[in-house]
Structure 1
Amino acid sequence: MRDCAVTPDDYAVLPAAREARALNTRVRALISALGLTSKVQVEDLLDTMEDWRDGSDPWLQVWGVKFGLDGGLEAGATEEPYACDHAFSGTLTWDLGVPVTIQQPLLHDTAEVEEGFWGPERVARLFPARGWLDLGAQVSAGSDFPVGQFGVMRSVWGLTTRQTVIGVKGPEHAITYDEALTLHTTQAARLCGEENLRGTLTPGRLADRTIWDQDPALCHGDALRDLNPTHTVVGGLLVTPAGMR
């Protein structure tokens, strides 16, 4: 699990859960710097994180620090003005070159709201996975839960169909099932810097896998969207749907 908004106080709970053998999934924590406004505050946060940067525990690791690059849904930075306010082009807080992680369920669930802010043409161009992959960008994918609905196959389905709550948006940006699966496995591991440990079923790598009662590659439409694994194996141990070993 990549948890992308962990405060320092919240993170203190995770090592305690690990010590109590109550942590039943691998966690990669992104410590939140949202709201920090100065270099001193960032340096203080990094000092707080110093003891968490070991990286040797395959169950619990700090993945990095989360900064907000722009104003989000209501104030995301755009080259052209907003559809609802022609004097406003969003708020850019950082300008960096970064890997891209796509949250397709977010587009599916919020497309109607997004059209009100940005207009239908720009919403159709959101998450242009086809173009990014063709350009060789480093791309992975996730759910953005709880903003988007959780479920890897819901995300795969969205990437291959471009379906949203108000219909298909930007079908030219759709990718294949195999490409979408790669974004959630090998590319997700690469995003965390763990491509040598996870992402493929290879001897010597961590024994994590999911078991399905049908082949997702042969499912289409709603059947793929709603498909969930029947079992999950983490570290070679069977984990029940309730998360208990």
Structure 2
Amino acid sequence: MVVIEQEPETEEIREAHANAPPADAPAHGEHESDEESFEDALTEEQLREKSLNQANDAKEEGNKLFRSGQYEDALLQYEIALQIASELPSSVDVCSMSHGNRAACFLKLNQYTDAVTECTKALELNPSYIKALVRRAEAHEKLENYEEAIADLKKVIELDPSNDQGRRWIRRLEPIAAEKREKMKEEMIGKLKEMGNSLLGRFGMNLDNFKAVKDPNTGSYSLSFQR
């Protein structure tokens, strides 16, 4: 009988045997890649949910600060909510409400132009956002933009026909808006007259030299020059 002498097993060989997978084990990476894909899918969904929760938490914190009169700090929390939510799908409500709430802060801080801007952003996301329309109307009134305020209030009535407060508000603003229109018209006529006198002055005349005469038959007017 011939005996084949085997070399002694080295440390490296023993480690290789010890770490070798069973014969029926799957190839390296097969299960790992499936598990990683599944985990990645879950993680992405969980991250979106976590981010949305963070946005809502920031918005709620802003609400608490607003109620306690800390408007500057509330603005910061609403901005954080917007920064988080703007990167997420299906976060329109959080974004529109955060813009609307920032508008409420700016109203309290007497920063009416900023309030109008924030309400407009909120309404671009949600055109039926009544609170944003009301806040923008309030800011417009403070800025003496009465026509714009009335337009917003009419939209409120359109969305909520039972809103009697909006109707009373419109009735209060309409004579103020009419008075402003008349005042602006008089100012414009005054400026035009001043400009006309400046031009006619070169010829030794002014607009007082011209008188509008109405034709009783046609109702039209003609200009009559008088020295």
TM-score by length of 1: 0.26
Which has the larger helix fraction? Answer: 2
| Structure with more contact order per residue of length (Cα contacts < 8 Å, sep ≥ 6) | 1
Choose 1 or 2 for highest CA Rg.
Answer: 2
